[in-house]
Structure 1
Protein backbone atom coordinates (compact mmCIF):
# COMPACT_ATOMS: atom_id res chain seq x y z
CA UNK A 1 0.00 0.00 0.00
CA UNK A 2 1.29 3.45 -0.86
CA UNK A 3 1.69 6.18 1.69
CA UNK A 4 -0.92 8.92 1.81
CA UNK A 5 -0.05 12.15 0.05
CA UNK A 6 -1.53 15.67 0.46
CA UNK A 7 -4.68 16.09 -1.62
CA UNK A 8 -3.10 19.11 -3.32
CA UNK A 9 -0.78 16.68 -5.13
CA UNK A 10 -3.55 14.38 -6.41
CA UNK A 11 -4.10 14.08 -10.18
CA UNK A 12 -6.97 16.16 -11.50
CA UNK A 13 -7.17 14.44 -14.88
CA UNK A 14 -10.31 12.41 -14.12
CA UNK A 15 -8.40 9.32 -13.01
CA UNK A 16 -9.69 7.42 -10.01
CA UNK A 17 -7.65 7.55 -6.79
CA UNK A 18 -8.21 6.45 -3.21
CA UNK A 19 -9.00 9.43 -0.99
CA UNK A 20 -9.36 9.92 2.73
CA UNK A 21 -11.98 12.29 4.15
CA UNK A 22 -14.14 12.97 7.21
CA UNK A 23 -17.93 13.16 6.83
CA UNK A 24 -20.35 15.51 8.59
CA UNK A 25 -20.66 13.08 11.50
CA UNK A 26 -16.90 13.10 12.07
CA UNK A 27 -16.43 9.58 10.69
CA UNK A 28 -13.18 8.95 8.79
CA UNK A 29 -13.73 7.44 5.34
CA UNK A 30 -11.67 5.88 2.57
CA UNK A 31 -13.20 5.97 -0.91
CA UNK A 32 -12.39 5.78 -4.58
CA UNK A 33 -12.97 9.24 -6.05
CA UNK A 34 -12.35 11.39 -9.13
CA UNK A 35 -11.76 15.08 -9.60
CA UNK A 36 -14.52 16.56 -11.75
CA UNK A 37 -13.42 19.87 -13.25
CA UNK A 38 -16.93 20.59 -14.56
CA UNK A 39 -18.37 20.37 -11.06
CA UNK A 40 -15.28 21.77 -9.39
CA UNK A 41 -14.54 19.11 -6.83
CA UNK A 42 -13.87 15.57 -5.69
CA UNK A 43 -16.74 13.10 -6.11
CA UNK A 44 -17.11 9.64 -4.57
CA UNK A 45 -19.86 7.03 -4.61
CA UNK A 46 -21.41 6.63 -1.16
CA UNK A 47 -23.31 3.55 -2.38
CA UNK A 48 -23.84 1.85 -5.72
CA UNK A 49 -25.99 4.69 -7.14
CA UNK A 50 -25.27 7.84 -5.11
CA UNK A 51 -22.38 10.23 -5.68
CA UNK A 52 -21.35 12.85 -3.15
CA UNK A 53 -19.03 15.82 -3.41
CA UNK A 54 -16.37 15.39 -0.72
CA UNK A 55 -13.44 17.33 0.72
CA UNK A 56 -10.60 14.81 1.01
CA UNK A 57 -7.47 15.60 3.00
CA UNK A 58 -5.14 13.03 1.46
CA UNK A 59 -4.90 10.43 -1.29
CA UNK A 60 -2.96 7.49 -2.69
CA UNK A 61 -3.03 5.80 -6.09
CA UNK A 62 -5.88 3.34 -6.52
CA UNK A 63 -4.58 -0.21 -6.54
CA UNK A 64 -5.88 -3.27 -8.40
CA UNK A 65 -7.27 -4.50 -5.06
CA UNK A 66 -9.46 -1.37 -4.76
CA UNK A 67 -11.11 -2.09 -8.12
CA UNK A 68 -12.31 -5.49 -6.90
CA UNK A 69 -14.29 -4.01 -4.00
Structure 2
Protein backbone atom coordinates (compact mmCIF):
# COMPACT_ATOMS: atom_id res chain seq x y z
CA UNK A 1 0.00 0.00 0.00
CA UNK A 2 1.34 3.41 -0.94
CA UNK A 3 2.05 5.96 1.76
CA UNK A 4 -0.30 8.87 2.34
CA UNK A 5 0.66 12.15 0.71
CA UNK A 6 -0.50 15.75 1.31
CA UNK A 7 -3.75 16.48 -0.52
CA UNK A 8 -2.06 19.41 -2.31
CA UNK A 9 -0.07 16.86 -4.33
CA UNK A 10 -3.10 14.82 -5.47
CA UNK A 11 -3.97 14.69 -9.18
CA UNK A 12 -6.81 17.01 -10.18
CA UNK A 13 -7.36 15.47 -13.61
CA UNK A 14 -10.53 13.58 -12.68
CA UNK A 15 -8.74 10.35 -11.83
CA UNK A 16 -9.95 8.42 -8.78
CA UNK A 17 -7.73 8.28 -5.71
CA UNK A 18 -8.15 7.21 -2.10
CA UNK A 19 -8.61 10.22 0.19
CA UNK A 20 -8.71 10.63 3.96
CA UNK A 21 -11.10 13.17 5.50
CA UNK A 22 -12.83 13.96 8.81
CA UNK A 23 -16.59 13.98 9.16
CA UNK A 24 -18.65 16.25 11.44
CA UNK A 25 -17.89 13.92 14.38
CA UNK A 26 -14.12 14.18 13.75
CA UNK A 27 -13.99 10.55 12.60
CA UNK A 28 -11.37 9.94 9.91
CA UNK A 29 -12.84 8.32 6.80
CA UNK A 30 -11.15 6.62 3.84
CA UNK A 31 -12.97 6.92 0.50
CA UNK A 32 -12.43 6.72 -3.23
CA UNK A 33 -12.87 10.26 -4.57
CA UNK A 34 -12.18 12.40 -7.60
CA UNK A 35 -11.54 16.11 -8.04
CA UNK A 36 -14.11 17.91 -10.16
CA UNK A 37 -16.18 21.09 -10.02
CA UNK A 38 -13.48 22.73 -7.85
CA UNK A 39 -13.68 20.13 -5.08
CA UNK A 40 -13.23 16.52 -3.97
CA UNK A 41 -16.32 14.33 -4.36
CA UNK A 42 -17.02 10.85 -3.00
CA UNK A 43 -20.03 8.52 -2.82
CA UNK A 44 -21.33 8.12 0.73
CA UNK A 45 -23.83 5.49 -0.44
CA UNK A 46 -24.78 4.02 -3.80
CA UNK A 47 -26.82 7.07 -4.83
CA UNK A 48 -25.42 10.02 -2.86
CA UNK A 49 -22.27 12.01 -3.54
CA UNK A 50 -20.75 14.37 -1.01
CA UNK A 51 -18.10 17.04 -1.31
CA UNK A 52 -15.33 16.38 1.23
CA UNK A 53 -12.25 18.25 2.40
CA UNK A 54 -9.52 15.60 2.48
CA UNK A 55 -6.27 16.07 4.37
CA UNK A 56 -4.26 13.40 2.55
CA UNK A 57 -4.43 10.89 -0.29
CA UNK A 58 -2.77 7.84 -1.81
CA UNK A 59 -3.11 6.18 -5.21
CA UNK A 60 -6.03 3.78 -5.47
CA UNK A 61 -4.84 0.18 -5.51
CA UNK A 62 -5.04 -1.30 -8.99
CA UNK A 63 -5.31 -4.85 -7.68
CA UNK A 64 -8.60 -4.14 -5.88
CA UNK A 65 -10.62 -4.06 -9.12
CA UNK A 66 -12.96 -7.01 -9.59
CA UNK A 67 -12.74 -7.37 -13.36
Q: So what's the TM-score if we normalise by structure 2? A: 0.92
> Where do residues 1-69 of structure 1 align in structure 2 (5 Å cutoff)?
1-36=1-36, 39-64=37-62, 65=64, 67-68=65-66
Q: Any unmatched runs of 5+ in structure 2?
A: none
How many equivalent residue pairs?
65
Q: CA RMSD in A?
A: 0.9
Deviation of 1:40 after TM superposition, in Å, equals 1.1
Deviation of 1:25 after TM superposition, in Å, equals 1.2
Q: Any unmatched runs of 5+ in structure 1?
A: none
Cα distance in structure 1, aligned partners of 2:31 and 2:18:
6
Q: So what's the TM-score if we normalise by structure 1? A: 0.89
1:7-60 CA distance string (max 9 Å, x none): 000000000000000001111100000000xx2100000011100000000000
